[in-house]
């Protein structure tokens, strides 16, 4: 059997490189206005307009690290071909910046032509979501060096599903089967031998289809048709649901994941009379949970309108929208340009899965208006700043007036 080629991983985070990277990242994504507002408690009222920021929003530690590594790679490998597997994170602004730095984009599952074009001297960046084992293998076979930015929280999910496979448990993964992270996790659920199995479920309805099958009420062909594309090769619900271990994409809605865990556990206990054939590990990451908790917290106070800023394909941002729209008019916008006027907002409709321009009367008039703003883990602060500036501008408040109203950052003397 031929030897399996090893990936050539490279460490680019030397202190000298990171100093240069930090300076560049600050210029591209930092916002003095957002920093000052955060330091002042997150609320700013000018005349009859109030902006409230969630206590936690925007870039998480995993995203910051992935961006740092991509920028560092560009510096260390100046002049070399640098490729990215898919998107570094789900934010168009960040991906645009990387394109401008001459980082080329491959598909997250590269085509044969893309793979054949890779040369040993080329460098491939693996995004924060990770990549499927087969793709990593193909890159190794091309002899390329890799910069792996996979978030540690994603890797801890991989450890969990590998362990399920080792113990002969099928992984039930709560996630989106087409999402890069879930595809990467599913590939690890096959285990080191490759003989493990997985089933990806997205909704509570999907979960109920599984619990019905566990209760002996399902139809095998209908089950396999329903989950086509979301199961491992050779998956058979009659044999591969005997022992199940639940894991989840790190960015899911926590309450839904917990409900899925509860329903599956109950179904196994009812079938077997014991929970011995059920394993679970909550793999929602800390950053996702903090942003969801902060949003629930801010929704305790009345607001007129909520703006959630981020890439439309961002999973954690999508869940923030789902939470907020239960309670007040909520618009999922990609940047400030979506605020077309006081009455028209371009936004992504999660239910219709399309971008629309919708009418709202919430920003109109001379009366007081409070706008809440939050953002997912992949949204840079400069986009939040532009949104804040735009809301005030629409309400007749200039950037100069906004700058003047921002509290000064605390000085060392204040802290003494």
Of residues 5 and 286, the one with the C-beta less far from ligand SF4: 286
CA dihedral 388, 393, 397, 398 (to 10 degrees): 90
- Backbone angles phi and psi of 126, in degrees to 5: -95, 130
Q: Which of the ranges 20-28, 148-156, 221-229, 367-375 carries the binding residues for ligand SF4, by CB under 6 A?
A: 148-156
Nearest approach in angstroms of CB 152 to ligand SF4 is: 7
Contact flag: residue 386 with ligand SF4 (CB under 6 A) = no
Distances (CA, A) of 263 to 90, 174, 206, 287: 31, 13, 11, 25
Give the end-to-end CA distance of the chain in Å, rounded to a whole number.
68
CB atoms within 10 A of CB 155: 15
Nearest approach in angstroms of CB 250 to ligand SF4 is: 4
Site size toward ligand SF4 (CB under 6 A) is 15
Contact flag: residue 196 with ligand SF4 (CB under 6 A) = no
Which of 93, 181, 385, 386 is catalytic? The answer is 181
Give the C-alpha separation, 83 to 90, whole Å.
17
Contact flag: residue 281 with ligand SF4 (CB under 6 A) = no
Q: Which of the ranges 16-24, 26-34, 55-63, 300-308 carries the binding residues for ligand SF4, by CB under 6 A?
A: 55-63
Residues 309-338 that bind ligand SF4 (CB under 6 A): 316
Alpha helices for 313-411 (secondary structure H):
315-325, 381-394, 399-405
Nearest approach in angstroms of CB 83 to ligand SF4 is: 20
Nearest approach in angstroms of CB 316 to ligand SF4 is: 5
Of residues 148 and 153, the one with the C-beta less far from ligand SF4: 153
Contact flag: residue 146 with ligand SF4 (CB under 6 A) = no
Contact flag: residue 69 with ligand SF4 (CB under 6 A) = no
Sheet containing strand 145-148, edge to edge, reads 8-9, 145-148, 123-126, 82-85, 103-106
Of residues 261 and 288, the one with the C-beta less far from ligand SF4: 288
Sole residue written with tokens 């491959």? 106
């Amino acid at each position: 059997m031929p030897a399996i080629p090893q990936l050539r991983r490279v460490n680019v985070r030397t202190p000298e490189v990171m100093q240069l990277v930090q300076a560049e990242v600050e210029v591209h994504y930092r916002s003095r206005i957002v920093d000052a507002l955060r330091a002042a408690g997150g609320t700013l009222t000018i005349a009859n307009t109030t902006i409230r920021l969630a206590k936690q929003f925007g870039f998480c530690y995993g995203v910051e690290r992935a961006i740092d590594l991509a920028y560092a790679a560009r510096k260390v490998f100046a002049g070399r071909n640098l490729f990215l597997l898919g998107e570094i994170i789900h934010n168009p602004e960040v991906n645009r910046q990387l394109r401008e730095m001459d980082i080329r984009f491959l598909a997250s599952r590269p085509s044969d032509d893309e793979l054949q074009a890779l040369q040993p001297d080329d460098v491939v960046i693996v995004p924060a979501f990770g990549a499927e084992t087969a793709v990593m293998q193909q890159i190794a076979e091309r002899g390329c060096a890799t910069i792996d930015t996979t978030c540690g929280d994603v890797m801890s999910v991989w450890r969990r599903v590998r362990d399920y496979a080792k113990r002969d448990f099928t992984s039930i993964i709560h996630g989106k089967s087409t999402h890069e992270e879930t595809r990467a996790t599913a590939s690890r659920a096959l285990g080191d031998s490759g003989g493990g199995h997985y089933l990806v479920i997205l909704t509570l309805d999907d979960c109920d289809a599984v619990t019905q099958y566990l209760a002996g009420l399902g139809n095998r062909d209908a089950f396999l048709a329903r989950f086509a594309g979301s199961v491992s090769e050779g998956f058979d619900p009659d044999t591969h649901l005997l022992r199940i271990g639940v894991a989840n994409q790190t960015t899911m809605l926590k309450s839904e994941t917990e409900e899925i865990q509860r329903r599956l556990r109950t179904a196994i206990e009812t079938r077997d009379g014991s929970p011995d054939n059920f394993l679970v590990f909550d793999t929602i990451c800390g950053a996702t949970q903090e942003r969801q908790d902060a949003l629930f917290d801010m929704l305790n106070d009345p607001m007129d309108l909520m703006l959630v800023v981020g890439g439309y394909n961002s999973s954690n941002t999508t869940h923030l929208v789902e939470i907020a729209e239960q309670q007040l008019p909520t618009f999922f916008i990609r940047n400030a340009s979506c605020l077309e006027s006081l009455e028209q907002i371009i936004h992504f409709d999660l239910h219709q899965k399309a971008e629309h321009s919708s009418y709202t009367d919430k920003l109109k008039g001379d009366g007081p208006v409070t706008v809440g703003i939050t953002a997912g883990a992949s949204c840079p602060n400069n986009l939040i700043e532009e949104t804040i500036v735009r809301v005030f501008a629409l309400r007749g408040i200039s950037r100069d007036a906004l700058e003047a109203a921002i509290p000064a950052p605390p000085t060392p003397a204040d802290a003494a």
